[in-house]
Structure 1
C-alpha cells in the first residue's frame, strides 16, 4: 500500500546533529517559525509569526516558546494580568539564559529570564525587526536601517537619544536583510548577498 504524504503537522522539521555532523534526532516545534536561537544551556527559543499563532497548529499558538534540545517543551508565553498578547514575535534576542522579544502591534520589550519570570516594558517604538541589549541600554532596529536607542528601567523603556541610521561601508543604506540578534549585537545579511554586518551596542 502506498503511504500518504506527510501533512505539515506530521513533519519532524527540527534536526539535531552531533559533533561529527550526524543527525541524532528530530522533532516538531510548530508552524510559522520566525526566529530560532539557542541559549547558553543549549535550550532553543522560538518566536512564531501570526500565521502560526492564529492557525491550527497548537504548538505555535503561544507566539514565544522555549524547548529543550531534545524537543521537550519547557516554557511558553501566556498573556496574564498586564501582559500583552503575543500575536506576532517580530524580534527575538537571546543573551545567556534570558530572552528578549518584541511582539506586534504595540512592540513592548518582553524580558523572559531562565526561571520563566516575565517582565513587560512599554516602548515608544514601532516596526521593530531586531534588538540588542547591553545592561540597561537597548537599541531597536526598525525598518531596514533605523536605530532607536533607549534605557531599560524597572517599568518601561525610555528613549535616550535621537534615532540614527545604519549605512554600509560604501555609504549606502542597507536594503531588506535577514536579522539575527544575540546579546549586544544585531547581525544583518542583506537579501541576495553573502556578507554579514554587525551592530554592536557594547562596542
Structure 2
C-alpha cells in the first residue's frame, strides 16, 4: 500500500505541475474557454478584499453610457477631494506623471526607508539605475529605441548630460571613480560600435573608453550573462565559453572555465567567489570557487539561494557588486554577502 500511495502522490504532483501549452497559430474553442476561465480566476484573485476598488467601480458605473467604441482616453477627476482652484495644477501633474519622468528614492545603510527623494523629468524608461560620484545618478534604458538611452542626473534633479551606450544591454555597473561598465546580450552583435564587443567601459561623459578585445587568446563574449565590479576591476562570465574573465588596468585576464555554466551573477573578492544561477532547475544554485594562479577551481559543495523564510527565489533580478549579491523581487530588495551564501552549503 505504501508503494501505491507513493505512486499516487507522484502522479498527482506531476499532474498539478504539468504546464499548459497553447498553440498561438491555431485557435480552438477549448483554448478560448481556457483563457476565459483563467481571466475570470485572475480577476477574482486580484479583487479579493478590494472593497475600495468595488466602491470606485460602482461610482464609475454611470460612465458606461458615455463610452463607445470610438473612445480612446478617459480622465477621471476626484472632485470630492480637490478644490476647483487646484484642478488645472492637479491635471497637469497627473498627466506628466503618466507620460514622462520618475521619482528617485535614496536609502543608505540597511534601512528600507527613503531618506531623500527627487523627481527626474526623464523621457527614458530606465532598466538600470547606478550611483556616480558627488551624488549623481545614471539612468540607462536597455534598448536604444533610436535615440540616447543613458542620462546622468545631479542630486538635485538637474540633468547633466545624455548619451548612447548601445543597444541590447544586459548589465550596467559603475565604479567609485565614475567608470561605467556595460555588458550586452546577443542581439547587440548585429549592431555597431562598442556593443559588438560584448563588454565595454564608458567614461563619466558617456563616451567609450575601453572595449573587450576580440583576440584569439581570449574567449568571445556573445552574451554577457554575469558582470561584477569590485573597486575599479570588472569581472564577467559570458556565453558561450563561460570563462571567468577579469579586466584590470585595461588588461583582460582569462581565468579559464567557470565552475557553473549559465550563471546570472557572480561574486568575488579577487581570490574566492561564487557563481549564482544556471540553466533550468539550477536557476537558484550557488557554486563557490577559488582562483588558483591562472585558473578557477570549485571550492566545496553547492547550495540553493532562498529567501529569509526559506521559500525559493523566483522571478527575480540579481547582480553582484564585489562580494555582495543584490536580489530584487517585485518591490523587495535583498542583499547577501559572499560569506553568507557560501556558508549555506
CA distance in 1, matches of 2:300, 2:333: 26
| TM-score, normalised via structure 1 length | 0.89
Shift of 1:51: 0.5
Structure 2 counterparts to residues 3-22 of structure 1, below 5 A: 8=144, 10-22=146-158
Instruction: Give the greater-gyration-radius structure (CA).
Output: 2
The structure in which a higher percent of residues are helix is 2
Counterparts of 1:85-104 in structure 2, within 5 Å, are 85-104=220-239
Separation in structure 1 between the aligned mates of residue 261 and residue 174 of structure 2, nearest angstrom: 26
CA contact (8 A) 2:226 2:266 kept: yes
Q: Flag structure 1 segments of 5+ consecutive residues without an equivalent.
A: 1-7
Does 2:315 match 1:176? Answer: yes
1:120 matched residue in structure 2: 254
Alignment check: 8 A CA contact 1:134 1:202 kept: no
2:217 paired with 1:82: yes
In the aligned structure 2, how far is the partner of 1:104 from the partner of 1:176? Answer: 21
Residue equivalent to 1:200: 337
Given the alignment of the two structures, is residue 106 of structure 1 paired with residue 245 of structure 2, yes or no?
no
TM-score by length of 2: 0.54
Q: CA deviation at 1:202?
A: 4.3
- In the comparison of the two structures, how many residue pairs are matched? 193
Do the aligned residues in 2 keep the contact of 1:42 with 1:69 (CA within 8 Å)?
A: yes
Separation in structure 2 between the aligned mates of residue 163 and residue 189 of structure 1, nearest angstrom: 22
Q: Which one has more relative contact order, counting CA pairs under 8 Å at least 6 apart? A: 1
Contact 1:92 1:131 in 2 (8 A): yes
Task: Say yes or no: does 1:148 pair with 2:282.
Answer: no
Note the aligned Cα RMSD (angstroms). 1.6
8 Å contact 2:259–2:287 — kept in the other structure? no
Q: Shift of residue 78 of structure 1? A: 1.3
Q: Given that residues 130 and 180 in structure 1 are in contact (C-alpha distance below 8 angstroms), is that contact kept between their aligned partners in structure 2?
A: yes
Q: Deviations over 1:18-70 (max 9, x none)?
A: 12111111000110011111111101000000001x21233310100000111
Aligned equivalent of 1:5 = none
- Cα contact 1:31–1:57 (8 A) shared by 2: no
Q: Which has the higher strand share?
A: 1
Question: Which runs of structure 1 show a deviation greater than 2 angstroms over 4 or more consecutive aligned residues?
Answer: 56-59
Structure 2 gap ranges (5+): 1-143, 341-345
> Would you say the 8 A contact 1:62–1:76 is kept in 2?
yes
Secondary structure in 1 aligned to 2:190? coil
